[in-house]
Amino acid sequence: MRVKKYTAPSMSEAMVRVKQDLGVHAVILHSRKRKTGGIFGFLSKTIVEVTAAHDPEPAGMKPQTAAKSIHSSNYPAMKLPTSSDRQEDSANMAISSPDPVSFWLKRLYKAGLGETETEKVKEKLFRIWYSSEEEPEAHALERAVKEAVSELLPPPVQAVKARYIQVFGPTGVGKTTTLAKLAAKTVLQDKKSAAFITADTYRIAAVEQLKTYAELLEIPVGVAYSAEDIQKFRDQFSDYDHVFIDTAGRNYRNKHYVNQLQDILGDDSDTERHLVLSATSKLEDMEAVVSQFSHALPDSLILTKLDETVSAGAAISIACSAGIPVSVMATGQNVPDDLQNAERSLLTERLLDWRNES
């Protein structure tokens, strides 16, 4: 195998040099940006450094019988995502990877999986590709992708194990509906006693919404206007198997609100804290939400609106990068039917669900 290092002002120019020197079958082993020149860091320039390799075909082997032809008609062509901030990275992977591997990398990018997670999947696929004497079957690569993503995810946890279950998160992610689903499952399926507490007194009709669910389930509800009220209702409902506590959805970028939230979140061992995120959100927004709410120490993530997106990769990436396990997946508005306990296999299937192909 011939290995060579290239430097260029940009990734696109580096890739041109790689292709000119090593050909279109070249593989990118590593790439990074670094500064060069200048004095004490001033007036320096940023360049791209790429390490590429090319494995020449063994002498005497006919092209049509080569063990690893990287052009395979078994893998349909797919378009790269149009997002400008990912286009160059996608092109980098696509140019430098064998067609079957490139197919899966493009698929992961299209599904919204983050660059870091996709890079780790690529490493696993490369190990399989270059350690096999024959071209791996399509199903073997698909299985490897699922295994790689599953290994990146923290082990899922089960919700509603503690007595008090609190949900929090940004506005519009479906906290109240999700809480109602959890309570309905507890009452109707698990045959346990339950109660509601809501601190969402800012949103119009929020209290009435939860009261409606409480009437349908025939369980009590307490309306809390302060941290003291929440503690009062926690004590009042202490004989119930589970108490579900709703919080107000406010602008997560408002640090004052986030600090206020800390006052009403329980921190005892008998309280679960679940950060609710919408799978329809962009990865950058999810990262900002997790960063803002990190002081609340969420026990798990609850992913909502998975039925409303064709690209669940961002939700999976945030679980991987934040190291917070997923406990619940919400896939619709039906209470409590459209609620699933999170499993790694379900999350990876959602990521690679071909029925979601647009």
Cis before 81 (ω within 30): no
Buried b (16+ CB within 10 A) or exposed e, 237-258: beebebbbbbbbbbebeeeeeb
pLDDT in tens, 164-189: 999 999 988 999 999 999 999 999 99
pLDDT in tens, 247-299: 987 667 777 777 777 777 766 789 999 999 999 999 999 999 999 888 888 99
Q: For the domain 164-356, what is the CATH code?
A: 3.40.50.300
pLDDT in tens, 105-137: 988 988 899 999 999 999 888 888 877 777 788
Higher pLDDT, 265 or 63: 265
Phi and psi at 196, nearest 5°, equal -110, 145
Q: Domain extents for the chain?
A: 1-56, 75-152, 164-356
307, 338 Cβ separation under 8 angstroms: yes
Q: Is the pLDDT of residue 190 over 50?
A: yes
Q: What's residue 92's pLDDT?
A: 53
Q: How much is the average pLDDT of 191-208? A: 90
